[in-house]
Amino acid sequence: MARVGRRVDELLRRLRPGDIAVLDRIDLDLRTAEALVAAGVVAVVNAAPSISGRFPSLGPETLIGAGIPLVDGVGTACLRTIRDGSQLRVHQNVLYQGETEVAVGFEQNAETIADQLVAAKAGMSAQLEAFSADTIEFLRTERTLLLDGFGVPELYVSMRDRHVLVVTPGWGRVRELRRLRRYVREFRPVLIGVDTGANALLEARLRPDVVVGDPGSVHADTLRAAREVVVPAGLDGHAPGLSRIQELGIGAVTFPASANPEDLALLLADAHGASLVVTVGFQAGLREFLDRERAESNPSTFLTRLKVGNRLVDSQAVLALHRGRMSVGMVALLLVGALAVIGVAVACSGVGAVYAEHAVTVWTTVVTWFAELSRGLIS
């Protein structure tokens, strides 16, 4: 079934598994592509070119990697020709309603995308210059927030000297959170969900401590489960999302700033004294900065990450470190096994004090070795 929309945010809310998304998005960004994959669409039709050549946009690569066909550049007329909710068929680069051909585009594949991304790197110079100018302007506007924490709301949830796990929206967040269960059990971090990232926390059976973002994108059950809700507001203090909070009858605080919700979550953790901030889904390399859907959010992301500094760690690093560690339970199991072996040896020896004394010596050696092992692997 075709789902047609010029406003991508509104279109994403209407998508269901098996739909064909028809949109108009020049330079298809990574976050939109991840949302399309998560929605379970079977094909994507873009009226605009998904890679215009201004910079290497990452969305097309994500769709093709997930096995979702992408037909590009069909023209804006298709948004009027294709009826929302109609049966649409995509064959190679041609769109059909029934047996009627309604649009023709260009079907992307891994090879065509790779070629276009190489060519698009030439457009990065102009984007970098614009990014530098926007960063300076943002610093002028939000310098008191970045330097002094002015405007950061007080929270009941304590983050002082604790780990904080921040989960952003995106495809595959629930799977990644399940892989982090061992870390969560051991360190008991404060759990912050950003927009639909809060839904991912609850889906992974983790209760969010704080939800940051537009309440309209967060499930009612998630908002009710959260210990605190922080609603972004403009510099004028206006917060459109408060109406939903009032409908649900729950409390919330506002955070007046021009930064995006992801960055506000990091600033909250920083201002409230978190010892370590682990991020799930944050992608902020050079390509991601230039690929962002909202270019105006890039300076806040760049400066916020500088502000948090070396306390900021990606979840992939946490997973890599935990793979090589031995858990307390494993050490305890080995210790019990060693005790059982010694007990059997003594019981079966049939000899008195000599073997008993030898067993005690061996036991003392084993206990000392395991104590040293546990200090080295668990501390």
Judge: domain 2-108, CATH 3.30.465.10: no
Tell me the pLDDT of the chain (379 aa) as tens digits.
888 888 887 788 888 899 999 998 888 888 888 889 988 999 999 988 988 877 777 889 999 999 999 999 888 888 888 888 888 888 888 888 888 888 888 888 888 888 888 777 766 666 666 667 767 777 777 777 777 777 889 999 999 999 999 998 876 788 889 889 999 999 999 999 999 899 999 999 999 999 998 888 889 999 999 999 999 887 556 677 788 888 888 988 888 887 888 889 999 999 999 999 999 877 666 555 555 544 445 667 777 887 888 888 888 888 887 665 545 555 555 555 555 555 555 555 554 455 555 555 655 665 565 555 545 444 3
- Burial, 63: exposed, middle or buried (Cβ in 10 Å; 0-12, 13-18, 19+)? buried
Task: Tell the burial category of 26 from Cβ atoms under 10 Å away from its Cβ (0-12, 13-18, 19+).
Answer: middle
Q: Which two tokens stand for residue 184?
A: 């969560």
What is the Rg, in whole angstroms, of the alpha carbon atoms belonging to the chain?
A: 27
pTM over 0.75: no
357 within 8 A of 345, measured Cβ to Cβ: no
Do residues 355 and 346 touch, judged by C-beta distance below 8 A? yes
> Which helix H or strand E contains 51, and what residues bound it?
none
Residue 219 makes CB contacts below 8 A (sequence gap 6+) with 199, 202
Q: Is 187 exposed, middle or buried (0-12, 13-18, 19+ CB in 10 A)?
A: middle
CA distance linking residue 177 with residue 201, whole number of Å: 7
Alpha carbon distance 91, 101 (integer Å): 10
Using CA atoms, how far residue 135 sits from 142, 233, 267, in Å, is 10, 20, 17
